[in-house]
Amino acid sequence: MSPRSDCQIHPTALIGADVLIGTRVTIGPNAVLTGPLEIGDDCWIGASVVLGAPPEILGAHHPTSWDASAGLGIRIGARTTIRELSTVHQGSERRTEIGDDCFLMNRVGIEHDVQVGSRCVVSSGTTLAGHVSVGDGVNLGMHTVAHQRRVIGSGSMIGMGTVVVKDVPPFAKAFGNPVSLQGVNRVGMSRSGIADEDIAAVAAIYAAGTFEGLSTIPASLQEAFTWWQERADKPLVS
C-alpha cells in the first residue's frame, strides 16, 4: 500500500499487501506488517514490531514470500500502542484481535487466535499463547505467561511473573506459578466507577471460593461474568 499523508511511517518499515492503516498512525523503523491486517486510527507501532506473521503452529504452512497472506487476519483497535520488538501473529481459526485504547509494552508476544479486549495493559515480556481470550480493562503484569486457550476475565489484575494455567474470573486479583486467586481487584474496580457494594459482593464470592450462578452476581457486573463463563472451561472459581 502507499503511505497515507496523515501517517508517520518510517521509510525502513515493510508493509505488505492487504494492510489497512487508519488515520494518524505512527509506524517505527524496521516494523514489518503483513496482511490481512487492520490498524485503527491514532495507533502507535514501535520499532521492529512484527504484525501479521503466520500462525506459530508446528507443521502449519509458511509461504515463500514474506508478505503473502498466511492466516485469518489481525485487527488492531484505535488508539492502541504497541511498543518495540513486540509480535502479533495471524489467526488460524479466528481473527487475532487487540481492542481499542490498549497499551502493549516492549517484547510482548500475542500468538495466533488471541483476542484482547479494549483498555488493556500488557506489560513487558508477556506472552499470550494461542487462542487466549482477555476481557476489557485487564492489567497483565510483567512476564505474565498464559497457557493456550485460557480466559482472563474483564477488569482483572495479574501479577508479574504469573503462569496462567486456569481461567481467571472477572475483576480478580491473581498471581503465582501456577496462578492462584488473591481476592478482587478493588483498586481497578473503584477506578472504573463500580459501586462499593458491588465490589464487596464480588469480594465475598471470591473469599468463599465459589458462586452459585449469575443470580449471586450484582446486575451491573453480570455481562462481564457471562462473557467469562461462556468461554472458561478451567475456572479458578466456579
Task: Please spell the DSSP secondary structure of 71-132, one letter per residue.
Answer: SS-EEE-TT-EE-TT-EEEPPSSS-EEE-TT-EE-TT-EE-TT-EE-SS-EE-TT-EE-TT-
Could you give the residue numbers annotated as active site? 112-113, 130
Q: 212 or 151: which carries more pLDDT confidence?
A: 151
Give this prediction's pTM: 0.95
pLDDT of 4 above 80: no
Q: What is the pLDDT of residue 67?
A: 85
Per-residue pLDDT of 105-145, as tens digits, reads: 999 999 999 999 999 999 999 999 999 999 999 999 999 99
Lowest-pLDDT choice from 199-208, 210-219, 223-232: 210-219
Per-residue pLDDT of 18-71, as tens digits, reads: 999 999 999 999 999 999 999 999 999 999 999 999 999 998 889 888 888 889
How far is the C-alpha of 153 from the C-alpha of 24, rounded, in Å?
Answer: 31
**Parallel, antiparallel, or unpaired: how do β-strands 180-184 and 172-175 relate?**
antiparallel
Domain ranges of the chain: 8-231
Q: What is the CATH number of domain 8-231?
A: 2.160.10.10
Question: Where residue 1 falls among pLDDT bands split at 50, 70, 90?
Answer: very low
pLDDT of 183 above 80: yes
